[in-house]
Amino acid sequence: MTTATSVSIEAGDLEASRQRSALADAARRFAADRWALAGMVFLSLLLLLALGAPWIATHVLHASAYRLAMMDQIQVHGRPVEVVSAEGVPVGPNVRFTLGADLIGRDVLARILYGARISLLVSTLGTLLAVLLGLAVGLLAGFYRGVVDAILSRFIDAMMAIPILLLAIALASVLRGGSVWTVVLILGLVNWTYLARILRAEVLSLREKEFIEAARAVGAGDRRILARHVLPNLAGPLLVFATLSMAGNILLESALSFLGVGIQSPTPSWGNMIQEGMGFYTVAWWITLFPGLAILLTVVSLNLVGDGLKDALMPGSRARSRP
């Protein structure tokens, strides 16, 4: 065994041991963060409710997210009440409609549960697409530098100069879909630049480390170095970005749906539910309030988890961010 090979193996073993120790320490720091754990509990519960939405709506609520009950009558405090009155005002929260009905007699709670499926699916897939794009560009720009870095960095700067919401609206207008997959594509295309900028800086730092030099010394190619040595060290920033990006994607999807260029009715989305009830918020406040609360609690929980992961995986970040 040559000296260079021995140095490479030793450096690789030390790096793997360091990563395992760092992961164990990060898990302990995250477990000690009560707010992050509270956010994780809420998100886990929301995921279970979203996955079980069809069963819950059918067997627990005895309702549907799509059935129009505007011509039905229900018993409220022992007297018959129309689900939607002759003036077009739906019935508020009661025993039959836990969170009230919307303007055409659909159950608001059932639609919120189904809307959770859409919001979580769209934000997760949009984040994954942004992670893939940002990872590819960040790795190329930071690892190869030179002309590749200059071209990609200038393109990133140009993309980041455009406000996200305006870019998303422009893409939605061009694509003219309004489907889940169209929104996923939009979310991925407008969010990858931030991750690419972060990863470029990380890769520029990593490529000068000793274990990278040792891998080069024994003849490891670029692919092997990227896969075995660079990518594992990017897991922390990737995880933190993904969590925080999901919160932003939920807000962006809701904004697009609210503006009428996102998820289209009758598919329930928290954004289009708010849009549908805006004209009647003074007399049917529940149509906009409860989807808005769902967005608020979900985004806050994701931010709590993201901050907890950031403090756990990058413990020096909080100290560096202080003035």
Tell me the pLDDT tens digit for each residue of 112-138.
999 999 999 999 999 999 999 999 998
Q: How many residues are recorded in the chain?
A: 323
Q: What is the mean pLDDT of residues 102-112?
A: 92
Are 120 and 94 in a shared domain? Answer: no
Does residue 5 carry a pLDDT above 70? no
Q: What is the mean pLDDT of residues 250-264?
A: 89
Query: CA-CA distance, 277 to 100, in Å (whole number)?
Result: 12
Tokens of 287: 């149509």
The residue segments making up the domain with residue 200 are 3-59+109-321
Tell me the pLDDT tens digit for each residue of 50-90.
999 999 999 998 888 888 887 888 877 778 888 888 888 89
Q: What is the pLDDT of residue 251?
A: 92
Q: What is the pLDDT of residue 204?
A: 83
State the CATH number of the domain containing residue 158: 1.10.3720.10
Are 157 and 306 in a shared domain? Answer: yes
- Identify the burial level of 52 via C-beta atoms within 10 angstroms of its C-beta, where 0-12 means exposed, 13-18 middle and 19 or more buried: middle
Q: What is the mean pLDDT of residues 90-104?
A: 89
Does residue 215 carry a pLDDT above 60? yes
pTM of the model: 0.85
pLDDT tier at 174 (50, 70, 90 boundaries)?
confident
Q: What is the mean pLDDT of residues 221-247?
A: 82
pLDDT tier at 302 (50, 70, 90 boundaries)?
very high
Query: CA-CA distance, 296 to 312, in Å (whole number)?
Result: 24
In the structure, how many helices (H) and strands (E) does the chain have? 13, 2
Are 206 and 118 in a shared domain? Answer: yes
Query: CA-CA distance, 52 to 266, in Å (whole number)?
Result: 20
Are 174 and 227 in a shared domain? Answer: yes
Percent of the chain whose predicted confidence (pLDDT) is above 70:
89
Residue at token pair 């069809």: 54
Are 101 and 113 in a shared domain? Answer: no
- Identify the burial level of 84 via C-beta atoms within 10 angstroms of its C-beta, where 0-12 means exposed, 13-18 middle and 19 or more buried: buried
Q: What is the pLDDT of residue 4?
A: 47
Are 20 and 91 in a shared domain? Answer: no
Are 72 and 122 in a shared domain? Answer: no
Tokens of 249: 């994607």
Query: CA-CA distance, 92 to 280, in Å (whole number)?
Result: 12
Q: What is the pLDDT of residue 15?
A: 52
Percent of the chain whose predicted confidence (pLDDT) is above 90:
32
- Identify the burial level of 323 via C-beta atoms within 10 angstroms of its C-beta, where 0-12 means exposed, 13-18 middle and 19 or more buried: exposed
Q: What is the mean pLDDT of residues 228-241?
A: 82
**Extended strands (E) in 5-106:** 73-76, 79-82
Of 151-155, 235-239, 298-302, the least confident: 235-239
Answer yes or no: are the C-beta atoms of 233 and 202 closer than 8 Å: yes
Residue at token pair 């021995």: 6
Are 240 and 258 in a shared domain? Answer: yes
User: What is the distance, to the nearest Å, from the Cα of residue 195 to the centroid of all Cα atoms in its chain?
Assistant: 13
Are 297 and 281 in a shared domain? Answer: yes
Are 141 and 11 in a shared domain? Answer: yes
Q: What is the pLDDT of residue 50?
A: 94
Are 287 and 227 in a shared domain? Answer: yes
Tell me the pLDDT tens digit for each residue of 146-164.
888 899 989 999 988 888 8
User: What is the distance, to the nearest Å, from the Cα of residue 131 to the centroid of all Cα atoms in its chain?
Assistant: 11
Query: CA-CA distance, 138 to 205, in Å (whole number)?
Result: 12
Q: What pairs with residue 79 in β-bridges? A: 76
CA count, 13 A, side-chain hemisphere, 153: 15
DSSP state of 177: -
Residue at token pair 């079980």: 52
> What share of residues in the chain are helix, strand, coil (percent, to 5)?
75, 5, 25
What's the whole-number average pLDDT of the chain? 84
Q: How many domains does the chain have?
A: 2
Tell me the pLDDT tens digit for each residue of 27-49.
788 888 899 999 999 999 999 99
Tokens of 195: 């991750």
Are 51 and 79 in a shared domain? Answer: no
Tokens of 82: 């129309």
Tokens of 158: 């140009």
Answer yes or no: are the C-beta atoms of 57 and 113 closer than 8 Å: yes
